[in-house]
Amino acid sequence: MKRTVANPSTLPDCSLAEVASGIRTGSISPVEVTEAVLARIAKLEPSLNSFTTVTADLARAEARQAEQEIARGHYRSPLHGIPISLKDLCFTKGIPTSSGMAMYRNFCPDYDATVVTRLRQAGAVCVGKTNMTEGATIGYHPDMQRPVNPWHPDYWSGVSSSGSGVAAAAGLCFATIGSDTGGSIRFPSAAAGITGLKPTWGRVSRHGIFPLGQPRDTIGPMARSAEDCAIMLSEIAGMDVNDPTSLTADVPNYAAQLAGLHGARGVRIGIDRQFNFSESDEEVVNLIEAAVSALQEIGGIVNAVKFPDPVALRGLSSSVSKVETALSHETTFPARAAEYGPALRELLFQAAAVDPLDMGRVLIAREEFKGALNHLFTGIDLLLVPVFAKQIPQWRVMADNPTVTVPWVFKFTAIFNHAGVPSITLPCGFTELGLPVAFQLIGPHLSEALLLRVGHAYQQATDWHMRRPPVVRDADQPAPAR
């Protein structure tokens, strides 16, 4: 296979869709693109800590197999021969799956998670497992490395899918898998300046995924564009007999629908500016308002709405989170409490003190919010909210007591996990410090096709998703002549 790219070191900066097109037509080699990604990993990973395990030998073998299959005319999917990564809570047969926990660093499952099986069947090339917080909670185990934000090392890279966000932003893979229980696809996507899709709860199987809060855990793609996320979602979504909570709805070809119905034209987008911006930085407000204007310019119809802010649910959600987390660790806690990091250990001890009546109140508040949100969607197609109300916080702030020092962080994320509705995170600019800013579009159940279509239309009119962080620009510079 011949390659049309003049400088192979820049192949990792292309979109998944671009590389897939080249592989399909024979102008790009799966082996060559995999080697380019592995070279990028070797160069940048020591300073980014985005992986717990790099599976270079496996990736090379899968790339060779993909190249041979395609040469024989057996082209599996747009992911065939594409280097991707997996969050380290996706079970991988014979490959360590730590879930961010020191006690599981050497745990090798004896089966693949369903999402892994589907990616393998699509012909994807796995370059490694991405780093994450302990047990997918908010903090890192002190014996595990934390991923470094490629835009600015002093600032947060998001919550548990942080390694996935860093890897995608830095070109260490073309797409990756994240999970989201309270914001863990959306936070890292926003912090890394990439696109993330949190699907409807149950749209993607959770079989073989280390749980955090099972009634809210959601698996989804993270990549550099809505188009790339659409390609991923088409392959991983769908009913799974091993996960009785997976949805039976047909899975469309999301990528094929991106240009349908004139993009964003005529789509009703609701905004509650009082809810969105009452605690925001002016810089963030201005960038999100510019995104609103861009959506209007491509035909979106922006309507002022009153968002049903679930104050009671927001106030009580920590109670149910603690109990659900405790259930996920009941076989190892408190029996192995000494092996836990201090943050997760303290959270699990607190679970025992949760008032059962608070649990009941959460269930009631959850149903009331879901009903109010469903009613809101009778008058609009999508809802626009920020991801962060302010500029991304610094690492040292998040390492202290984030629920006290930055209570605004979860305002726009966790409530939508309780409702089980899908969301797409889209980059919309940068602060004066060079930190990414993003917004979310929220849709009703199973509206992923619409979210991806509007997100793609927005990204055809803007170029924020095409910006690359400083570490990547430095990596792309040719080596000095000797």
Q: What is the pLDDT of residues 7-43, one digit of tens each?
A: 778 999 999 999 999 999 999 999 999 999 999 999 9
* Positive/negative CA dihedral, 169, 175, 177, 180: positive
Catalytic residue among 15, 50, 77, 87: 87
Count helices and strands in the chain by DSSP H and E runs: 17, 11
List beta partners, residue 383: 270, 442
What residue segments make up the domains of the chain, in order of their start?
A: 8-475
97 vs 307: CA distance, rounded Å: 40
Q: What is the mean pLDDT of residues 191-203?
A: 98
The three-point CA angle 182-434-44 to 5° equals 80
What is the arrangement of strands in the sheet containing 301-304, beginning at the earlier edge strand?
A: 51-54, 125-130, 83-87, 175-180, 218-223, 195-198, 423-430, 436-442, 382-386, 268-271, 301-304
Q: What is the mean pLDDT of residues 160-181?
A: 98
Pairing of strands 436-442, 382-386: antiparallel
Query: Could you report the per-residue pLDDT of 300-321, keeping only the tens digit for each?
Result: 999 999 999 888 888 888 888 9
Residue 262: the pLDDT is 77
The distance of Cα 271 from the centroid of its chain, to the nearest Å, equals 23
294 vs 105: CA distance, rounded Å: 45
Neighbour count for residue 142 (Cβ, 10 Å):
11
Instruction: At 274, list the tokens.
Output: 């009082």
* Positive/negative CA dihedral, 145, 140, 101, 114: negative
> Is residue 15 annotated as a catalytic residue, yes or no?
no
Catalytic residue among 29, 184, 423, 447: 184
Catalytic residue among 50, 85, 157, 160: 160
Is the pTM above the cut of 0.85?
yes
Q: What is the mean pLDDT of residues 395-421?
A: 83
The distance of Cα 480 from the centroid of its chain, to the nearest Å, equals 36
List beta partners, residue 121: none
Query: Could you report the per-residue pLDDT of 78-97, keeping only the tens digit for each?
Result: 999 999 999 999 999 999 99
**Does 402 score more than 70 pLDDT?**
no
Q: What is the mean pLDDT of residues 148-172?
A: 96
**Does 155 score more than 70 pLDDT?**
yes
On average, the pLDDT of the chain sits at 94
Pairing of strands 218-223, 175-180: antiparallel
13 vs 200: CA distance, rounded Å: 29
Among 259-263, 364-368, 407-411, whose mean pLDDT is lowest?
Answer: 259-263
Kindly list the distances between the CA atom of residue 286 and the CA atoms of 280, 281, 290, 389, in Å, as whole numbers in the listed order: 10, 9, 6, 12
**Does 242 score more than 90 pLDDT?**
yes
Proportion of the chain above pLDDT 90, given as a percent: 87
Banded pLDDT at 4 (limits 50, 70, 90): very low
310 vs 292: CA distance, rounded Å: 24
Q: Does domain 8-475 sit in CATH 3.90.1300.10?
A: yes
Neighbour count for residue 461 (Cβ, 10 Å):
13
Banded pLDDT at 3 (limits 50, 70, 90): very low
The three-point CA angle 435-441-444 to 5° equals 155
63 vs 124: CA distance, rounded Å: 8
* Positive/negative CA dihedral, 366, 198, 130, 112: positive
> Is residue 319 annotated as a catalytic residue, yes or no?
no
Q: What is the mean pLDDT of residues 277-286?
A: 94
Q: What is the mean pLDDT of residues 211-219?
A: 96
Torsions phi, psi of 10, nearest 5? Answer: -95, -5
Query: Could you report the per-residue pLDDT of 94-127, keeping only the tens digit for each?
Result: 999 999 999 999 999 999 999 999 999 999 999 9
SS3 82: coil
Contacts of 39 (CB under 8 A, 6+ apart): 9
Among 4-13, 245-254, 442-451, whose mean pLDDT is lowest?
Answer: 4-13
188 vs 165: CA distance, rounded Å: 5
Residue 403: the pLDDT is 64
Query: Could you report the per-residue pLDDT of 323-357, keeping only the tens digit for each?
Result: 999 999 999 999 999 999 999 999 999 999 999 99
208 vs 243: CA distance, rounded Å: 9
Q: If residue 87 lies in a helix (H) or strand (E), which one and from where to where? A: strand 83-87
117 neighbors 126 (Cβ within 8 angstroms): no
**Does 405 score more than 80 pLDDT?**
no
**DSSP code at position 261:** G
422 vs 169: CA distance, rounded Å: 22
Q: If we measure between CA atoms, which residue out of 360, 348, 357, 344 comes closest to residue 323?
A: 348
Torsions phi, psi of 94, nearest 5? Answer: 75, 0
Instruction: At 263, list the tokens.
Output: 């993009």
SS3 440: strand
Residue 2: the pLDDT is 36
Torsions phi, psi of 77, nearest 5? Answer: -170, 170
**DSSP code at position 291:** H
Kindly list the distances between the CA atom of residue 242 and the CA atoms of 121, 219, 246, 325, 355, in Å, as whole numbers in the listed order: 17, 15, 9, 22, 33
> Is residue 184 annotated as a catalytic residue, yes or no?
yes
